[in-house]
Amino acid sequence: MKKFTPFLFIVSIIAIVAFAISQINQSEQHHYSETWSAFVYTHGYNSGRYQKTDDFSDYQQCKTFAQQQSADQGDVVWQCGLNCRFDSSRQGFQCETMKNH
């Protein structure tokens, strides 16, 4: 039995690591519907200051809202992003797609 103890220990470690990796992969998969977010850059695109409004169901709704907000702020730059989430490593929002046309 002592011959198999290291083997069982290594197999146990490999099984635990495999389980942990599978759990991480499952948690990384996003299970949400398509949502758009409007970004209106009130102090210029490169300033990092913007007004963000979420939960538009399609691009056209987001675009209409962003254009109205842009006009109210003096025709500032705007964008709409699809499925945006905050990325703490980059300290900003990351979106699957960004549009402003």
pLDDT in tens, 16-46: 998 888 888 776 665 567 899 999 998 887 7
Tell me the whole-structure pTM to 2 decimals.
0.63
Domain boundaries, given as residue ranges, for the chain: 1-31, 36-99
Q: What are phi and psi of 32, to 5 degrees?
A: -145, 160
DSSP state of 44: -
Q: What is the mean pLDDT of the chain?
A: 86
Beta-strand (E) ranges in 1-101? 36-41, 51-56, 77-82, 85-87, 92-94, 97-99
